[in-house]
Amino acid sequence: MAAHRLRPGVCRLFAMGPELGSARRAYSAFQAFTEVLRLPSKQLTKLVFPLQELHGHFVPGSRPDLHLNIFHPSLEDIARAESFFTASARNRIEYLTAAVRLDHAPDLRHPEVCFIGRSNVGKSSLIKALFSLAPEVEVRVSKKPGHTKKINFYKVGKYFTLADMPGYGYRAPEDFVDMVETYLKERKNLMRTFLLVDSVLGIQKADNIAIEMCEEFALPYVMVLTKIDKSSKGHLLKQVLQIQKFVDTKTQGCFPQLFPVSAVTYSGIHLLRCFIADITGNLKTNGFQFS
Ligand code: GDP
């Protein structure tokens, strides 16, 4: 499906360092999958299946421990998934409301997914990237210390809702833990929790707050590794292997396959959209080997 020629402008972008401020805007050409499909296959793999691309750096057969294919949809499925994230008159994607307590949360019957992670892990950037085909959606950010921590809800057409949990730090305040804990324990339509870990730093003490909650309530959750454009390939490989080992040996409810992403390059974003569309029951892909 990939086109064989690379437009000269795109070629230059790939040669640039990902940290460059101007690359941030230029890379957004890849927010739409039609643009990604124009890439030559090697670059397409890197953008769509970053874990597979990383795995290619090992001696064949030497590192079977990365689970690459538990969810491996076709490019056609990934293209179909995009329609759920594209705003149109028939598919309204919008910010719904904020809640400080679970009983303030909207009472919806749609399946829900939630995103949780440490402050600064890249959660709002990731949600913005997922919603980049719905530019009207205003992703709410409340970072000022002392501001009330809220859960922000977004509605994705008639398909699902996305709950953005407040960022936390080490020694999260009690009322914050209570709110998140109650939400995770009692939200009936919660289908999957996406737990964000900074791929530069690896799993931090503060991440254990969310991991322990998910494990205690036996929630199905998924580890998303953010900011993968920031590290050298060697550092990223090391972190990914460490996190994979943690997931394999220390967790019960975590989906075995990791989801590395970059909100700057859009690497992994299309696969994540497809995964969400699938697990919320909206898109039946043949991507699952087992789940
Ligand atoms: P939040 O507190 O979890 O919502 O984190 P933000 O989304 O605000 O991101 C925190 C910082 O990390 C900001 O300076 C972002 O620009 C940066 N950031 C977020 N995602 C990425 C990414 O994928 N790549 C890079 N290079 N920087 C990122």
Segments in the chain below pLDDT 70 = 1-28, 61-64, 142-148, 290-291
**Closest ligand 1 atom, residue 262 Cα:** 23
- 77 touches ligand 1 (CB under 6 Å): no
**Closest ligand 1 atom, residue 265 Cα:** 23
Predicted local confidence at residue 254, as pLDDT: 97
Nearest residue by C-alpha to atom 19 in ligand 1: 122
CA of 103 from ligand 1 middle (Å) equals 30
Q: Whole-model pTM above 0.75?
A: yes
**Closest ligand 1 atom, residue 18 Cα:** 26
Tell me the C-alpha distance between 218 and 215, whole Å. Answer: 5
Q: Is 130 exposed, middle or buried (0-12, 13-18, 19+ CB in 10 A)?
A: buried
- Beta-sheet pairing, 221-226 with 160-164: unpaired
Predicted local confidence at residue 120, as pLDDT: 92
CA of 177 from ligand 1 middle (Å) equals 23
CA of 128 from ligand 1 middle (Å) equals 10
- 229 touches ligand 1 (CB under 6 Å): yes
Which neighbouring-strand residues pair with 198?
226
Predicted local confidence at residue 147, as pLDDT: 63
- 189 touches ligand 1 (CB under 6 Å): no
- Sign, CA dihedral 187-190-192-195, equals negative
User: Which of 25, 125, 131, 150 best tests ligand 1's pocket when mutated (most atoms within 8 Å of CB)?
Assistant: 125
